[in-house]
Amino acid sequence: MNRNASPSFLEFFAGGGMARIGLGERWTCAFANDFDAVKAQTYRANFADAGSSQGEGHFHAGDVFALTADQIPSADLAWASSPCQDFSLAGARAGLAGGKSSAFFGFWTLMKAMSAQDRAPPVIVIENVVGLLTSHHGDDFTALCGALSEEGYRFGAIEIDASAFVPQSRPRVFVVATRLPAVELEGSSAFHTRAVREAAARLPDDLKERWIWWGVPSPPARNTDLAVVLEPDDAVAWNPQDRTEALLALMADSHREAVELRIKSGERAVGAVFRRMRGGDQRAEVRFDGLAGCLRTPRGGSSRQTLLVIENGQVRSRLVTPREGARLMGLPDSYRLPRSQTAGLQVIGDGVAVPAVRWLAESLLEPLLDSKTASLAAE
């Protein structure tokens, strides 16, 4: 890829287009797809070239299984953030056979058909929750690697936590597969977490030979915390005090002590609270490390994240707003969210952190496509 050229990409399960934003303006989206009507509307609202609801433009709203390879243009990269519920620890862990994560096979059918037409993307990125590495004792990840290998790809995985870039704990695995030369991009990386190393070790020998240890460097230290992304206190709705007291009552002793310490300090402190089931009992757990917990879609009792703000001895609580959630995903304030709070949180909770995608593009994807340009120039 010439540095002045515009690499093209396909964005499957595009959601609100966060992978597109992360790749950056130098990249051209040749095709995008999502089944969800709210996400499709949000995508079109943010990208002028996406087209209208009548279908003009590069965005296609509908089931990935209904697409054919002839509808998909050739591109340098295919990005797939397939539904993750069946891989998540919060889900049923049904794996690739699960109803939602099986959407991956709709995507992969298209990739195989494009390969048969001799125009498969030379680079593929599959982004998902870290549970992909261990689902069904690693069998799902082995199946994924086997599918990539059968189509001539070498592959590797890295685990990036969005907390390296934004004040949100959001670990995700990125499987990067390629048919291009990659020797110069191999090496050690802090993103080769224990989960990645163990997943690679479980692979059969023939797939281990196809594995690439992507040498993605660590980014500079993050210099923002949760408090920075929050709306002004007078611009948000706070919970009634009895609801805050009920939340505090759900805390185990260690968490309540952490709150009391900050009350006594008299200084302003911001904490993120999740409700979880512990030993059959509902608990509220608070963290004051400057990070939000992983944002989720507004489904289920533990999905909505609460903020706890302590100042001048007073404790207040409220829900994270969609705009704050967007900032925690690295989105600019110019990003257009749905009017409904539930819809906004749905789009945000299913997305990929924008700065993580940008770092992956700068550190790996763009240099990898540079190798393609160099090879063509040498022929």
Q: Are 327 and 374 in contact (CB under 8 A)?
A: no
Q: What angle do CA 133, 139, 140 make, to 5 degrees?
A: 60
Q: Give me the active site residues, please.
A: 84
Q: Supply the angle between the helices 341-349 and 37-46 in degrees, to the nearest 10.
A: 90
Nearest to 167 by CA among 270, 14, 237: 270
CA 212, distance to chain mean position in Å, is 21
How far is it, in rounded angstroms, from Cα 352 to Cα 132?
A: 15
How far is it, in rounded angstroms, from Cα 80 to Cα 65?
A: 14
H or E stretch including 229? none
Q: Supply the angle between the helices 194-202 and 139-150 in degrees, to the nearest 10.
A: 70
